[in-house]
Every structure is written in C-alpha cells, then in structure tokens.
Structure 1
Amino acid sequence: MKVRKSIGETTFNVFNILFMLFMIVITLYPFVYVFMASISDSMRLLSHTGVLLKPLGFTMNAYTMVFRNPNILTGFHNTLFIVTVGTVSNLFVTCLGAYVLSRKGVPWTRPIMLIIVFTMFFSGGLIPTYLLVNNWLGLGNSLAALIIPGLVSTWNLIILRTSFQSIPESLIESARIDGAQDFTILFRIVVPLSMPVIAVMILFYSVGHWNSWFGAMIYLRDHSLFPLQLVLREILIQNSAQFLASDASSGDLEAIGESVKYATIIIATLPILLVYPFLQKYFVKGVMIGSIKG
C-alpha cells in the first residue's frame, strides 16, 4: 500500500532538492570556470568579465607551456614522491602504533594514549619545530623534512586503534597458537580485516601530502625540491609570467600568465579528483568502523 506524503514532507523534500541543486551549482562552477579559462585564448580571457561557461577560443597552449616548463614537471615529480613515500610511511607507522595500543595486556597504554591525545591540543610551536627539524635533526632543505615530522597523525592513529580493537581477540589468539608473530598477525589478519579504514587513512594522508605547501615553504630552499603546490603558490601570488614563459614577447606575458595559472590549477587538482571516486565508497564505512568500538 502506497503511503501518501503529507504537505510538510513534500515541501521539505522540494526545498531539500532545490537547496542541494543550489549547492551543487555554486560548488561546481569554480571548477568549470577554471577549466574553461585554461583552454581559452589568452588575450580574449584577459579582457573577459562575468560568467564563463564555455572556452573563449579553444586552445591547449597553456597546457603545452605548463608541461614544457621544467619547474612544473620537477614540482610534479617531487609531489608524487612525497605523496607515495609519505603515505606508505605514514600508513606503516600508524598501523604499528595502532596495533600496539589496541592489544590487551600491553602495559602503559592508557598513559601513552593520554600523551598522544595531548599533542592534538598542544604543540611545541612553529619556531621550536623549525629548530628541531632544520638544525637538530638536520633535515633542512630535504624532502625528508616534509615526511618525517608528520609521520603519524594523532587523529588517524586513534581511528585506526579503535578499528583494530573491534577485531575479535579470539581470532588473534588462534593465530598465536598456530605460531604467528605480531608482524604476521598485523599484516595478514588485522590489516586485511580493516581495509575500509585503511582506505580512509590512505585518502587522508595522500590528500594531506598533495595539498601541503607550508612545510615546503619553510624548510626548502632549493627550487629543484619544490613540490607542485609550492610552485603553484609562486605562480598565483607572484603572478610571474616570466617564471613560466621566458620565451614569450613582453606584451603577451600577462595574458599567458593568466592562462597558465588556470592550467596549473587543473593539473594540480585533477589527480586527487580522479583518485577520490575509487576510495569514496570506503569513506563513510571506514570512518564509522573506526569511530565505534565493537
């Protein structure tokens, strides 16, 4: 039997749909604008004002110029290295810490967790952290300075620890009876059973590394080590067309700089947009599993 909706329910549904459509439009339009601007003619784009829903004279010159520039390609390579090595390192160390803190019988787990949680609210400060990384650890002007200091996220560690605690202790005890050691239990039993949460951790860590630029700005001095986001920052803030198009005539530099900025934004954003749909299905499930103790 079909149940008729009340006027209030119908009104709410209509309002909800209209509101969501409005949010989609205002969220999607900046991406549309940037993409259309990146494939538009530079001179026409410079003189254009208002809404942009189609390219102003289709051209791929901006992308050609971006990929020809060694700074962009080097930044892309550095970012891929940071994301790959950083995410693998983050995940490995976080899994080790979460496993130890989730096992029964391990001494001092409560005081250790209190110390870990304390770091979520209080830190040593920017200057002491810089001195520690740059001077005392000797990681200044190296890509390791962007990976090692943030090797473990406290929030991710807590989520993963809670997920590991939901795995039945009897399963782990059975593995121990069969002669399995802790590393075997972790990587052959615990981690495979926690793949939704692991997928969320991969997403959190990789997006964090991909978007990060502040650490690179502080610790890196060699331009050959700059990640893509720091190169993009220089383009957006300094608006240095010469930085990207030294072979262009001076009259076209400003116009070319605008097109190249938009093309660079697309190149910097597109990889994460392509990766997210493959992990999105794990996102809600993984966070819920990691936030509720079974």
Structure 2
Amino acid sequence: MPASLIHSLGRYDPPPDATREALVQRIEALLVLDGELREAGYAIHKDEDLYYAEVLPDIALYQILFESTEGIGRDMQLLLQLAIDRTVSTALAELETLGAVGELGPWAEEGARSINALHQWIAVVREQLKAYQGDRDGFLMECRQAFPDFVFSKRFPGCLDTFKGNLNDFVAVIVSALVSLADDMPECMEQPTTQACMKAFTAMSGYETSMEGDADRRDALTFQFAGKDGTIRILCEPHIKLHCSARAGDAEYYFHRIYFSSAEHAEFEGKTLIGHIGEHL
C-alpha cells in the first residue's frame, strides 16, 4: 500500500483574503519542498484538473504558469512550470484507494493531509509502513522510501527471508526499531564512548542494542554495499535485538537482529548503513 503525494485542488483553493504577495511567498516555500521531496526519491502527482484551479480570486493556475508574470517573476514561473509539468496527472480518489495521501499546494497548510515539510511526509510513510503486508521486495522498496538516509547492503532483500515465521508478523517491530534508529541514534552518538552510546540508545528506544564484542566475528558482520566505483565492504557490528513479533498472542522469544553502522563513511556521508535484518548471525 504505497503512500502518495499529490498537488491537490484543496491545497490550491485560496482563502478570501489571499493576496498575490502571499501567494508568491508560499510558492517559494512549495518549490523548496518539491525539490527536497524529489531528492529523497518521492514521486509526486497532480490532480487532473489542477491547471484550472483558482489560486487567487478569479485567477487560475494556468494563468500564473503560462500568462502574466506580474508579481511572480519569470524565473519563479519557470520553476513552478517545471515542478507542476513533471508530475503525473491522477485522480485523488484513485490514490486514496492505494494508501495514505499527502497533499501539496500553496494554501490550506492546516489540512489533515497537508504536507509542508519533508519530515512530515517521512512520518506519514513510516506510520503506514508499520501495517505493510506483502513480499520482501515490496517491503524493502518501501523501507527505502521511509528511510531515505539509510543504505541497505547487498544481503537485501534475501536476509528478510531469515525471520522465524512470516516476515509480515515482524514488520511493525522492524519499522519501529528503524524509526528509533533514525530518530534517536544521532543524539546517542554524542555520548563519549561506544558503550555509552549503545546504553543510551537502549534506554531511548526500548530496544536492547549492543556491540558484538568478539573480534573473531568481524568478518561475519562485514557486509557489501554498492558504492560509486564498485562494492565496498563495511563492518556493521552494532545490532538491535528484536525479541518479539507483532502477531497477537505470540509469546515466543525470538533472536532476530538488525546489524547497522552509524559511523561516518566517506562513500556514504550522512547515511546509516543497514547490513542485515533477520536471523542472528
């Protein structure tokens, strides 16, 4: 059930006191957000009737895009044309049948589905991912959408088959742990030692997390990642322990792991590397 972004009619409907100056400011912010969303890999749609939406009283979007540049400027007009024209024309109702929907536009920022910042959309995608039911390939694809700052090793998606039982029974737990890794680990990395970092993360996330501690196991915990110039081998020794499933009534104690590296690597600046999710290695 993929989540979808759309330039919706509702978000292009101006309030009664809308002015051209206010519209220009909001378009500037919208263009910045559009760029951030695309850079993170998100596809964006537009309502099939969007060009005829009134963005100001008695002024339709197509007039702003292709006619007068008064108050908006030629450069911004061209950028807005590009942002709108390269979206896929779609009916909002069609996207609603697929999953969660985020709405983009210059107005109506307070709407229940309004997306005004990249982190808002990421939160929506992550929340929907917790309910994923499907195969391993689809789950990995949606994980990449939900965690744009994660890089997954070449063990994926195969390692997802190593869970004891059905992968779908563990999805909510996996996603919850990955959300904590994305949100909490940066603060924990400020601790003076690795042990203190692991302890802090365990306390913040609720997931027991530690280093391997056995030098003889380094090779088993070194994973291959696709770099710009070929394969790179990187040690992912820290691991989050996943001891339960999300299946109702399941009291079994599991030994699943998420092996990762939050250390800085020149090839993957600012990224968290995920070596393996599945059985204990």
After TM superposition, the score normalised by the length of structure 1 is 0.20
Structure with the higher helix share, 1 or 2? 1
After TM superposition, the score normalised by the length of structure 2 is 0.21
Structure with the higher strand share, 1 or 2? 2
Select the structure of larger CA radius of gyration: 1
User: Relative contact order (C-alpha < 8 Å, sep 6+): which is higher?
Assistant: 1
